Structure formats: C-alpha cells, structure tokens
Structure 1
Amino acid sequence: MESAIKWTSNETVLGFGKDAIAFLDTKLFSKKSPCDKKMYEILIIEPFYGGSHKVLIDMLYKALEDEYSDSKICMVTMTAKKWHWRARTSALYLSQVIPKQHAFRVMFSSSVLNLGDLIALRNDLADVKKIVYFHENQLVYPVREKKDRDFQYGYNEIVTSMVADTVVFNSEFNRETFLKSIKAFFKVQPDFRPKGLEGEIRQKTRVLYFPVMYDVGSHSKDYESTLHIVWPHRWEHDKAPEDFMKVLRKLSEAHCDFTVSMVGEQFTDVSKAFKEAETSLFPHIRHWGFLPSRREYLDLLSRAHVAVSTAKHEFFGVAMMEAAFNKCLPLCPKRLVYPEIYPNECLYNDSEDLFTRLAAFSRNVSAIKEVVADVKLDFSKYSAVNLLPHYVSLFK
C-alpha cells in the first residue's frame, strides 16, 4: 500500500468548460510539506482515490480552495487499488497519517472509509463535523445468492452513517435503496437486531447529484457511417460486461454492421473473459481498452453514435451523462437510477429489447440523430458549475 499523500495545490487550475480537460488531465496536487506543519481547518479523506471518487474530491478541493484558500485544506488519499481492502482496513492506516496537531472543524470522506473505526482510533476527531458521501451503497450490491453477500461492507456503511453528521447521496435512488434496505439487511443477524436506524439516519441525509464537468470532443458525428457503439464502464461484475458481450455477439451473428469501443477503466487484472471477448469481436472493434487521456476519450465520444449501459449496480453514472452530453444516444436498462435521470426513449426493458434497438440502428444510423434531438435531458441539473456551490455550503 502506498503511503497516504498530504496535498496542497501547486498550480492555478483553469475554469470549467473547454478548460475542464486540462483540469482533469493534470495532476492537480503534488507532495509538499506535511499537513501537520499547518493548522488546517478542513480535512478531505479518500481511501479509494481513482475514477469518480478522484474526480469528485479534485473538483471539491478546487472549489473549496477558491472559498477558503489551500492553506486551510488538508487532503489525505490512498490509491484506487483493492477496493475490498480499502473498505476493511483503511481506517487504521489513516488514523496514523492524519495530522494529530490540527484545528479541523469539518471532514469529508466517501463511504469507503469505516468512519466508526476512524473516530474510535482518533477520538480527537469526534467533535469535527463529519460529512460522508455515498457514490454507491453495498446494501443492494448484486450477488447471485444472499449467502454470497459480505455482511461487513454494508454494516460498515450503516455504522458510518450513524457516526456522520451529514450523509450525502448522489441520487434519490441511492438514498432510498440504502435507507429502505437497512431493516431487511439485519434479518441475517440471528438476534439482538438494532431498531429505528432508518429514521435516525434519514433525518441527516440529503441528495446532491454528482457534479459533472461537461466538455465535448472535437469531432462531429457521421450518421452515414457504420453504427459506432461505446461502452464506457469498468469491466467488473456490477457493470455486467458479459451481458453486453452477449448482445454484441448476437448482433455479429445476425450480420449487423457495427463497431464497438470498450473504454472503461480497470482496477484489477485483465480477466480471461475480457481477452476472449476481444478475440471474438475483433472484426467489430474500433477501440479496446482504457483511454487515459481525457481529450482522446471525449474525441471518441464525439464520434460514437450510441452509449450502452448493462449495469446491475449503478447510482448515478457519470460516463453515460458525459456520453449523452456528446450527443450519443444513451441506452440504459429500465432499472436502478436510470429512470430517475433519463426519459423513456433512453431506457430498454431487457437484453432482447437492447438487441432489437441496436440491430435497427445498425440498419438506419441516421435515425439515431432524430431520437437524440427528441430526448429531453436537463444537463444543467447535473452540472458541476451549478452543483459545486451546494457542496461547498456543506463546509460552512
């Protein structure tokens, strides 16, 4: 495990809009003097500093810096590796590296951190205002059988919510599935089950959508070309890549004309299934693998026609929102958070419905342009420019 890093800003970051690419492609922070050399007021913790977790606190740091100056903000992070170990053990490690001499009045962390453990280990932080942000929740993580669910992850999140002063969710779906699942979650406990937790936690919750920093690629779509499908998700169980592969193989067997770009980030070793999919779909592949450059990623979105999700576990979906902003038609399952965000034109019922729609678009790509024009999606509702002031207000 790499040591936690204490960060201070080392450059002026450009504003939103076109300059967002520079913001997200640049290492916003660098090692400088340890946090405990100054009496910081704000503590930001991220045990899993990667993906949307990284994007959020980088934006939050910049917004808070504009409000308070970097001299008052201490950020401590751990690399985005081995999520399960971060969820189990990060509190003990962080308790050792968070400055012991401090003037913290507010702390912010994702729910990956077991806040109860941290406060027990560092009771000097007990009186600090504690804000926890839920990118997802483990109470409804998809498992094949109930016995496969690791009770500890969900239990940690519940205890963390009890210890926190403010609990923020990135969607209404996230909040409601978490709160309404607590009672059923404890049914596996044989006796002495706690009561009334939903009500205690609910009164200190709020929903703040993930602040999306919109930007567009530099290309325009060619609706006279072959259908270009993009899948911008992690290749992991909860995103159901195998379901997407089955649809693509069926399209191929039906002799549909299409290309596909698989551009999601991978935090674990490349699976055998991923390699086999690349081989079987080789004639249709436009791009295969994560694009580390945001400019290249946006350029690809600006060329693609359709973005697909097959997720079994999703609470907002930054990648699909970015694709939609780049005029890709988002096709999402009619479940999870998607009906909260997307209109019916963007929702499909099952894999057969997804196949049917993609097959039809492969025969008439220009029809996608008409559908996209009719989609009513209020991007301002999820804009970083509009949402970040609400995040900053949490630190008052």
Structure 2
Amino acid sequence: MKALLLSAYAAVSHRHWADGLQQQFPEIDWRRLELPARHFPWRIRGNPLTWLGQESGCLQEDYEVIVATSMVDLATLVGLYPSLAKAHKVVYFHENQFAYPLPKGQRVRAEPLMVNLYAALAADVVVFNSAYNRDSLLCGARDFLKRMPERLPLDAVLSRVAEKAVVLPVPLSEETPKPARSGRRILWNHRWEYDKNPEAFFTALQALASQGIDFEVAVMGQQFRDQPPVFEAARAWLGERVVCWGEQPDDVYQETLDSADIVVSTTDHEFQGLAVMEAVTHGCIPLVPDRLCFPEYYASAYRYTGDQASLETTLAQWLTDPASRPPLPDACAWQWPAWREAYRKVLMGGE
C-alpha cells in the first residue's frame, strides 16, 4: 500500500504522531510532506499553493490512502490534483480551530475555520484525538455557520462529519512506566503561550509560598519570541525553588521528567494533553482541570474543579501529605500497542 502523509503545520506533537504512524506501519510505502510550524495564517490557507510549487511531482502520483492533518486544505488539494480523490482519505484533528481560544483583542477569522470544515467534508474518515475535540468542532461549526448570511442546511452538513468521525488519541511510544515518587517537585512542561493559562499556575505557587509550604518547580516547554510576561515575573520571585527553567534539550527534558513528582495543567485549551501523559509515564502524578478533554483521560481523583481555590487546595494537600496522592494512572493505556489495531482499521478503510 502506498500512502501520502500530509502535515501543513508540523508542530512537535504533529511530528510525534507522524513519526509514530511510519514506525508502526512499516509495511506501508509512505510519502511524507510537511511544512514548518510558523506563519500560521499563511500555512493553514496557503499549504496547497506551497506544495503546488515545491512538490507537484509527489502529488501527481497515485496513492491508496492519504492521511492529512486538519490544517491541510485537503479539499483544495483534491481540486488541484483530481487523482487524489481516488484514495481513501483520512483527516486527523489534533485540534480544531472552532474551539481555539483567541488572544485578547483578536477577532474570529473565517479562513482557518473553513479549512477545518472543508477538510472534514472531503475526508472519508475524520479522526479526533478526543471526544471533546469532536464535539467542540461540531458545536462550534454549528454556531459559526448560523451567523453566516445564507440559511444553510446545518444538520445535513454536520451530520456528514459526525457519521464518519472516529476518536483515536495520539499514542505514546511503548515504554515501561516509571513508578510514582513522593517528593515535592512540581512540573510545568507546556508551551509558553496564553492559552495554557500560566497565570493560574504561578498564582497557585504564590499561594503555596505564602503558606510556607516547601516545594521545588521545573518549568519547561516550548518557548516563543512573544510569551506571557508572567514567566519573567515568576522566575524572579521563585528564586532557589527553581530547579529547571525554559526549553531544554531532550536529554535534560527526560531527566527532569524522571525527577519530578507532580505535573500540573491549568490550560484553557487542550484536546489531548500529550505533555501531561508523557510526564505520567515518567512517574508524575497529574493534576488537571475538570474541563476540556481531561475527564476522558483522567479519573476524578486527578481533576480539580477548575477554579483557583481548588487547584491551590489540592496542591497544598498533595505536598504536605504525600499519602493523599492517588496512584498513577495506567500510562500503558495511552501507548501504541493499545491503539495499533484501531489505527490499522482506519488506514485500511475498515478491513
């Protein structure tokens, strides 16, 4: 079988997923096209034009299956290269633009939303990494289309997407999970951007410090030129509590995961949360908000109600009374052996 793997915005998690597909299905003859994760407005709208100029020969070949991320303008690509329409087309939604929180002062732009929607309509199978991702796309698309000038047949359009939707998470690589530890090191390993709500995290740390609760903190994750000012301010007052700060090479990152005890998410935007899952595999107890995708992946013992007081109370309890921490979730449930057969069925068209 010959397959074309398309990723229009190759962020870290997207590359991890694409690498996993190729490693898990070596019997497939893969062709892979991807574009750097920068210049988002252009990437999501201009990827067919970029590939038209750079990879026309590859796109003119015949394929049995096409696997594309949701940022690929698949409908336009099929229009430019009609032979692609014959392939079994799978679109994978790592995220959807209908549920993406906007920075302050920004208005909704129709183009990214429509690329997502047209890609889903052009696909034979639409795969989401969580039911929250699926449901927020369907609800968001309905709300968005209701505001458009024409009275569109929303039920007919959206039912086409819902009927071919499948939920399959991005699997982690197979490895033996590490045991939990009972120390006081807190981990933050998310992108340094507004949608991850770092303000709530550092406010909780300030509350711990004001109560005299002893802790250490490792703050890692991908950094960008523009980042919330709370990071610089927090670094100043945290002082010697900081054991690691900023984006790290992989070996340091892995060592730090192995040394941490509690991984925290305060995010306003998450469709699966690979960073938390990775930390759990390394022995960190997760503390996540009771919203977004987290109820699907974590029992109530790992979820705070979502407000600041609940976050601070749970952290304080876990630090002062390590025996109160729940046992680690089963990280093996998120790894490739648990999901390979389901992925095979999607790729093979249900065979």
Q: TM-score, normalised by structure 2?
A: 0.89
CA deviation vs aligned residue, 1:343-394 (integer Å, no higher than 9, x gap): 1110001111111122233333x32xx5233x5x343432212212322333
What's the counterpart of residue 328 of structure 1?
284
User: Residues of 2 paired with 1:311 and 1:84: CA distance?
Assistant: 23
**Partners in 2 of 1:100 and 1:361 — Cα distance?**
54
| Aligned mates of 2:24, 2:318 — CA distance in 1 | 42
Q: Is 2:262–2:284's contact at 8 Å kept on the other side of the alignment?
A: yes
> Is 2:189–2:220's contact at 8 Å kept on the other side of the alignment?
yes
Amino acid in the other structure paired with 2:10: Y
Superposition deviation, residue 221 in structure 1: 6.5
Cα distance in 1, alignment partners of residues 185 and 173 from structure 2: 24
State the shift of 1:194 in Å: 4.4
Matches within 5 A, 1:71-150: 72-96=29-53, 97-98=55-56, 99-143=58-102, 148-150=107-109
Moved over 6 A (4+): 144-147
Whole-angstrom CA distance in 2 between matches of 1:41 and 1:111? 21
Unmatched segments (≥5 aa) in structure 1: 1-39
**Aligned residue in 2 for 1:309:** 265
SS at match of 1:109: strand
- Quote the Cα distance in structure 2 between the aligned partners of 1:166 and 1:383: 22
Match of 2:236 in 1: 279
2:164 is the alignment partner of 1:204: yes
- SS of aligned partner of 2:266: coil
- The residue number in structure 2 matching 1:44 is 5
TM-score by length of 1: 0.80
Q: Does the residue aligned with 2:325 lie in a helix, a strand or coil?
A: helix
Aligned to 2:253: 297
Residue 353 in structure 1 maps to residue 310 in structure 2: yes
- What residue ranges of structure 2 are gaps of 5+ in the alignment? none
Amino acid at match of 2:331: F
Distance, in Å, in 2 between the alignment partners of 1:102 and 1:255 is 65
* Superimposed CA distance per residue, residues 83-124 of structure 1 (whole angstroms, 9 cap, x where no aligned partner): 333212212112331415412121111101121222222223
Secondary structure in 2 matching 1:149: coil
RMSD of aligned C-alpha atoms? 2.4
Q: Which amino acid aligns with 1:393?
A: K
- In the alignment, what sits opposite 1:63? 24
Q: How much has 1:216 moved relative to structure 2?
A: 6.0
Q: SS where residue 221 of structure 2 aligns?
A: coil
Go from structure 1 to structure 2 and tell me whether the alpha carbon gap of 1:145 and 1:278 turns closer, same or farther (over 3 Å shift): closer
CA distance in 2, matches of 1:201, 1:208: 16
Q: Is the 8 A contact 1:216 1:302 kept in 2?
A: no
Question: 1:307–1:328: 8 Å Cα contact kept in structure 2?
Answer: yes
Question: Counterpart in 2 of 1:13?
Answer: none
Distance in 1 of aligned mates of 2:59 and 2:343: 26
Instruction: Show the counterpart of 1:7.
Output: none
The alpha carbon displacement at 1:186 in A equals 1.3
Q: Which residue pairs with 2:189 in the alignment? A: 232
Take 1:148 and 1:280, find their aligned partners in 2: how far apart are those partners? 35
Q: Distance in 2 between matches of 1:387 and 1:311?
A: 26
Partner Cα separation in structure 1 for residue 225 and residue 78 of structure 2: 30
Aligned to 2:199: 242
Preserved contact between residue 229 and residue 308 of structure 1 (Cα < 8 Å): yes
- Counterparts of 1:243 and 1:148, CA distance in 2: 24
Shift, 1:177, TM fit: 1.7
Distance in 1 (alpha carbons) for counterparts of 2:84 and 2:344: 20
* Inter-partner Cα distance in structure 1 for 2:186 and 2:41: 31
> Equivalents in 1 of 2:166, 2:181: separation in Å?
42
C-alpha distance in 1 between matches for 2:110 and 2:194: 18
Contact 2:180 2:285 in 1 (8 A): no
Alpha-carbon distance in structure 1 between the residues aligned to 2:76 and 2:314: 48
| Residues 70, 116 of structure 2: 8 Å contact kept | yes
Measured in 1, the distance between the counterparts of 2:254 and 2:174 equals 10
3-state DSSP class of the match of 1:394?
helix
Distance 2:38 2:129 in 1: 22
- 1:198: Cα distance to partner? 1.6
Structure-2 separation of matches of 1:180 and 1:247: 32
Residue number in structure 2 paired with 1:266: 223
How many residues are matched? Answer: 344
Contact 1:261 1:287 in 2 (8 A): yes
User: What is the DSSP-based 3-state SS (H/G/I as helix, E as strand, rest coil) of the residue aligned with 1:281?
Assistant: helix
Q: 1:199–1:101: structure 2 CA closer, same or farther, 3 Å change rule?
A: closer
Q: Measure, in 2, the Cα distance between the counterparts of 1:378 and 1:126.
A: 40
